[in-house]
Each structure stands twice: as structure tokens, then as C-alpha cells.
Amino acid sequence: MRKFFLKLKSKIVNFSFKDYCKKNVLFLSFVLASVINGLLLRGLTVKNFFDVRPIIADAGIVILIGAFGFLVKPKKRFLYYLVWSILFSVICIINSMYYTNYLSYSSISLFATSFLIVDVGDAIVENVMEIKDFCYLWQILFIVLVHIKLKRANYYDNFSRTVKGFRNAVFLGISFFVVFACTLSSTDIGRIFKQWNREYIVMRYGIYTYQFSDLFASLTPTINSMFGYDKNAKMFREYYEDNSYVASNNEYSNIFEGKNVLVIHAESVQNFVMDTSINGVSLTPNLNKLASDGIYFNNFYAEESVGTSSDSEFTFATSLLPATSGTVAINYWDRDYTTIQKLFKEKGYYVFSMHGNNCSFWNRNLLHQSFGYDKFYCYTDAYNIDETIGLGLSDKSFFKQSISYLKDIDKNHDNWYGTMIMLTNHTPFSYIGDYSDLDVTYKYDEVLDSGEVVTKSYDYLEGTVLGNYFKSVHYADEAIGQLIKDLDREHLLDNTVVVIYGDHDAKIKKSEYEYYYNYDFKTGHVLDSDDPDYHVVTDYEYEVNRKVPFIIWTKDKSFKLKVSKVGGMIDAMPTLGNMFGVYNKYALGHDLFSVKDNVVVFPDGNWITDEMYYNNQREEALLLDSDYLISVDYISKRNLIADERISISNSIIVYDLIKSVNDQMNLIKNGG
């Protein structure tokens, strides 16, 4: 290290900045533009303009990439830097749009799911893309203009390929990284290897360093499974030795044993809509009735990641968290998971799923086989597509046509477990059009001087994303109400437990909520942001508001129980399992009727308890219970829980550890 710094000092002493800039205009233009775009991305997403560390890291990696341009013939050097400028601009655009939708950054591993964009292209255009997402294109134009100016000045005729230029640039890039490395803590280093805390990595390392480290992480699952197995298997064994499964014993244990199960996967149904009315009309009267008569968990979170709906299916089925890289549905569907579907099959249940979308969407044709479903009724294979809304068959037609299948299943099987996946209430919500009768204009009565009362209206939510969502969720609620009536008419509810969960929040921007909360009904306009009554929707309020409903209901039993204890999708299986007498010893969640201080962990490392929401990436918190005293130890313990739960879950997924354990047990049973 001493020799390195002596050499660096010598170069600095003999260095002429003016001369270097004059000889390396294109190279420096590329480096400067790339670093500015990285700075711009952080500024427009995490508002991190002024931290010098990610600037140094981004500069280091861009300089190293730019160094190889010196090995290219001068007249072709422009094409080298242009290609990289296009790539870096695209990286910034994709991550800008991704952050708008997920408050996180994209992953190379998600390219495997890119075919899904075709089906949800309208949602991206309407709900995700913003003008700011394309401001990064200036780099491409800038490099082209610099090239044109240099070409006119015959700049390239004076230079040739130079190993010295390459060597100097590499030395400069490494120097930046050495300086950057001196600023790192052990926490910083650990997080870049774990990769799940993406916002933190971009904030500390820069977008380009993150993207290349993510590329490495995305391309190494096979290598990891070859070389990292022993370490992760040891961690797996030790975790379950210290956290061995203990069956719950409470008033809800085995209360539903022997009953059928119908799970309704309610697309994009967010919890707050159940408390919302427009012009006195409830958005979800049917869900409200089911929640009122059943067991309603009103402080429940989906814990999904980039796999959205498929992640929620996986977490509900396994009580594991989504994969930290890629998605289980696409990248890890072929693992041996312990699922609620398999456990019910072991009890003699016929297990099936139904969906009105393409059978291969989210790879469900294979994923559902892996879960243990006996049959998947989907799209044109099982349904007449007589009414299309958005991505596929409308929910109302889907439910109506499913009744005949349910009757046959009930007739031919003593017990059954079924999942019905809804579809219509899917972003961008504008598909709903004439299918919803909900009026989202604001109506009011005005008394004229003559005494006559005239009803007038403001557009209010008409034509907005949130207004379309309210119409769409109202339609979805009507479809659920119709399904319950049809099931009751066919006597399919007599021995059935209905479970409803929202698969994830609606992915609606904060600006839509600010419009909603700050609408002035007196004027028909939105309050100015500097108005003292203006309600700013913070990132933390937005995150806490992402909860979804979780309802357990039966026709023959009125529970009328609202559970406000915080819970997550990872807790659904242990909670239901206790009620039906099925147990998953690898569950990472808890029975919500037995756990005292629950911690809901999100795939990005953030977590929420009844007392606080903690952003692990920014190391900031929102106190939810003002009377509760929070200590540093309280946060540290729950950070450890989050880290451990994410690590164990990901090890199970990547290394197929449950299969390894089952294979060893079978070998022992067979005397091997």
C-alpha cells in the first residue's frame, strides 16, 4: 500500500491537469456525463445529491470502463463510449421508473420476467412513466455533440491507440476505489454482498457499482449452489435447532379441521379502501360485511417484492419470504418447498387453483405444480373468454363459470382446498370503463337566491388513477359479493372456510394520494402546497398505508373479530395451519393468535411492529405508538431478526435446502 501511495504521489506531482484534459476530451466527457447521471438518479429518487461517497464510487467504475476506450482505434473510440453512454442512460431510466413503482432499484435478474411487460404495458405507460425518467438521455446527445465537434477539429488524427492511456486511466480508477474503500464500514461491505438492501447500496455505492455487483449476484446462483452450500446448510440447521417448531395451543386450534377451504387471491385490494366511501357509497360493502362477520386482520402486510402477485402466492403458501434476487416464480419454481397445498393433500384434500389469465403468466403453469396443486383451471384451457377486462377474463365471468367446476369438485371429493386468483382489479385500472357504476365526482347541493336547490358536481377523482382504482376495486367487491351468493345458492358454503387476502397494494403514486387528501370541496381545486392545511404524504406514511386485508369467514359461524396486531403474509400459513391442524416446521412466520411481539419483515430489510416502522436502508424510523419508549437495543434486535429471516429464507430458496433434508430423511428411512 505504501508503494502505491508513493507512486500515486509521484504521478500527482508531475501531473498537468490542463494537458491531460486537452488530450482526453472524449474520455473525460464520458466520465463526467455518466457520473452526473448517477448523481441525478440518486437526487430524483432517494434525494441523495450531496453525498460524495457514491460519486467517488461511480467515478471509479466509469473510469475503469472508459479506460478500455484507449485500446480502441481513435476513429472508433466514439462508438465505444456511445454504446456505454446508451447503456448507462438505459440503466438510469429503468431504475428511475422502477423506483417510482417499488421504492427500490431494479435487478439484472428481473430481465427473466421482462416478457411479462407485454401484458402490463399499459400500466407502465399510464402509471409508472414520467417525463423525469427520460432526463438521462441528455448524456447520449452530449457525447454525440462532443464527437461532432472533435471530428470537425480533426482531433482524432492526432492520437492513436495507447496502452499508456489505458494504464493511466486504470490507475486513476483504482485510486478512486482506494479512496472510496477508506470510507466504508463493515456494515457497508456486508450489505453489498447480501444485496437485498438495494436503496442503501445505491445511496452508499452509487448506481453503477450497485448494478455491476447485482450482475455478479444474478449470474452466480449456480456457483453459489456449488460452493456456498455447506455454509448455508450449516446456518439452516442451526437456525431450526434454535427455533424448532412448536404447535400453537389456543382457542382457535383445529376449529376448522375437516372443512373445505376456498382462498380468494384479491388482486391489488388495499386495506384503506374498506374504510372509504365516495358520496356516501362504500367502495367495498361486500368485503366489509365478510370482515365484520368473520376474523378480520386489519393491520396486515403483503411482504411482496418484485414478483408482486406471485411473491404473495409463494409467501402465503410457504411462510417464506420472496427471493432476494429474481423471483421464485421464474428463477426458483422447481425447488421442493413445504407448502400449505401439499400439507392439505397429505390430509386427503383435492387441491386446485383457478385463474382467468394466461396459464403461463408468472409461470403459474409450472409454479402451481411445484406448490402441489392437483389441477390448474386457467384461461382458454378452462374458460370461455366471453368478457375481457384488462389482462383477461373479467372477475364476474370468471367466478360465474367457476361455479360449475366447484360443484363437480365438491361432488367428487370429500374435502377440497382451492385458490381463486382475481384479475380485473389490476393496474392501470383504466380498463374498468363502463363496467363499474361508481361515481367518483363530488356532488353537492347549492341553494339559489330563489330558494331552489340545485345539485352540482366537481370532477374530483374522475379521470385520475386513484379514481379509476376506486371504480375498479368497487367492481372487484361486487364480483366477490356475487361469488358468495352463487356459492351459497349451490350449498358450497355449508362446509367451507373462505379466506381472502389482498395480494399487494395498488402501486399508486404518492402524488395521487396528495391530490386525494388535499382536494378542496369548496373550490373544486387542490390546495396549494404552501397552504397550512396541505397534507404532505411522506414516504413513511405511504409505506405504512400499504397494508392489505386478510379475512377468514364461514357461513355457519359469526366471529365478529377484528385483529389489529401487526401481521404479514408470512404469518398466514401458521395462523390458518393452526386452525386446520396442518403444520409447517420450516415456517418463518407465526400464528397471529399466539405471537406476542410480532415483527413483519419486508424483503428489502425494512420492518414494522405494533410500535414502529423502521427503514433499515435509511436507518430511520416512524413511531406508531407515541407512548412506547424505543431503545437502540429494541431496534438492533429487530434488525437482527430481519437479517436472519431474509438470509434463512433466501438460503432455502437458492440452495433447495428442504429437498436436501427430505432426501437425507428418506435415505435414513430406507436404511441407506
> Cα(78)–Cα(256) distance, rounded to whole angstroms?
70
pTM of the entire predicted model: 0.83
Residues written for the chain: 672
Continuous segment of H or E residues that includes residue 158: none
Residue 50: count of CB within 10 angstroms of its CB = 9
Q: What are the CA-CA distances from residue 636 to residues 188, 191, 614, 630 (Å)?
A: 16, 16, 11, 11
Q: What are phi and psi of 268, to 5 degrees?
A: 55, 25
> Cα(27)–Cα(382) distance, rounded to whole angstroms?
59
Tell me if the bond preceding 428 is cis, omega within 30° of 0: yes
Continuous segment of H or E residues that includes residue 353: strand 350-355
For residue 375, the SS3 value is: strand
Are the C-beta atoms of residues 197 and 191 closer than 8 Å to each other?
yes
Query: Would you state the pLDDT for residue 157?
Result: 78
Rg (CA), the chain: 28
Task: Show the cell assigned to 18.
Answer: 490542463
Query: Would you state the pLDDT for residue 201?
Result: 79
Task: Show the cell assigned to 316.
Answer: 402465503
What's the number of CA atoms in the CB half-sphere (13 Å) around residue 122?
A: 11
> Tell me: the pLDDT tens digits for 498-544?
999 999 999 888 889 999 999 888 788 899 989 999 999 998 999 99
Query: Would you state the pLDDT for residue 586?
Result: 96
| Regions of the chain with pLDDT less than 70 | 1-17, 20, 48-49, 101-103, 108-129, 186-197, 217-227, 665-672
Beta bridge partners of 526: 519
In 3D space, the residue among 327, 344, 165 whose CA is nearest the CA of residue 261 turns out to be 344
Task: Show the cell assigned to 392.
Answer: 383477461
Query: Would you state the pLDDT for residue 31?
Result: 94
Are the C-beta atoms of residues 513 and 431 closer than 8 Å to each other?
no
Task: Show the cell assigned to 500.
Answer: 381472502
Q: What are the CA-CA distances from residue 586 to residues 144, 161, 599 (Å)?
A: 56, 59, 17
Handedness of CA 146, 147, 152, 153 (dihedral sign): positive
Q: Which residues of 193-224 are buried (b: 16+ CB within 10 A; e: fewer)?
A: ebbbbbbbbbbbbbbbbbbebbeebbeebeeb
Beta bridge partners of 601: 607
Beta bridge partners of 420: 264, 354
Which residue segments constitute the domains of the chain, with CATH numbers given?
2-219 (no CATH), 237-669 (3.40.720.10)
Query: Would you state the pLDDT for residue 296?
Result: 98
How many helices and strands, by DSSP H and E, does the chain display?
A: 26, 21
Cβ-proximal residues to 137 (8 Å cutoff; 6+ apart), any chain: 89, 93
Query: Would you state the pLDDT for residue 5?
Result: 54
Q: What are the CA-CA distances from residue 524 to residues 70, 198, 438, 521 (Å)?
A: 61, 41, 19, 5
Are the C-beta atoms of residues 580 and 349 closer than 8 Å to each other?
no
Are the C-beta atoms of residues 235 and 647 closer than 8 Å to each other?
yes
In 3D space, the residue among 247, 322, 335, 316 whose CA is nearest the CA of residue 585 turns out to be 247
